[in-house]
Amino acid sequence: MKTPVDLGYKMDMGPSPMKEKMYPTLHLEWPTDYDLPESGELTVKFVKTGENKSKVGGKPRYTVDLEIKSIESVEEGEVEESEKEESGSDALDRYAKEAEGE
């Protein structure tokens, strides 16, 4: 696999396609507190425990399950304005403005 790989994709399924890119989610869970920055670069060791290829709306969809064995390194990065989490009310306001502009 060539790296880096941009995992972003457009959600073009459904009645109102999203304009911004969506990204896969990695959920980590462990029994103690963690010290991860808000953004950055994370290097892990993993084992692939499952994979699936299916079709959604006639388009291929691929999923993979990874067991994260260890976090090898963490480098804190800067949070760009576009990456900051948007509140629900701010998102609704933004969508309303976008709809008015169409």
For residue 28, tell me if it sits in a domain: no
Range of the domain at 63: 40-76
Of 21, 25, 2, which is closest to residue 11 (Cα–Cα)?
Answer: 21
- Any idea what DSSP says for residue 1? -
Q: Highest mean pLDDT: which of 7-11, 17-21, 78-82? A: 7-11
Tens of pLDDT, residue by residue over 37-83, are: 999 999 999 999 999 999 888 888 889 999 999 999 999 998 665 55
Of 25, 64, 32, 28, which is closest to residue 44 (Cα–Cα)?
Answer: 28
Domain count, the chain: 1
Of 46, 43, 44, which is closest to residue 75 (Cα–Cα)?
Answer: 43
Give the Cα separation of 66 and 42 in Å (integer): 15
For residue 46, tell me if it sits in a domain: yes
Pull the structure tokens for residue 27. 């959920």
pLDDT at 86: 67
Task: Evaluate if residue 90 carries a pLDDT over 60.
Answer: yes
For residue 90, tell me if it sits in a domain: no
For residue 17, tell me if it sits in a domain: no
For residue 70, tell me if it sits in a domain: yes
For residue 24, tell me if it sits in a domain: no
pLDDT at 25: 87
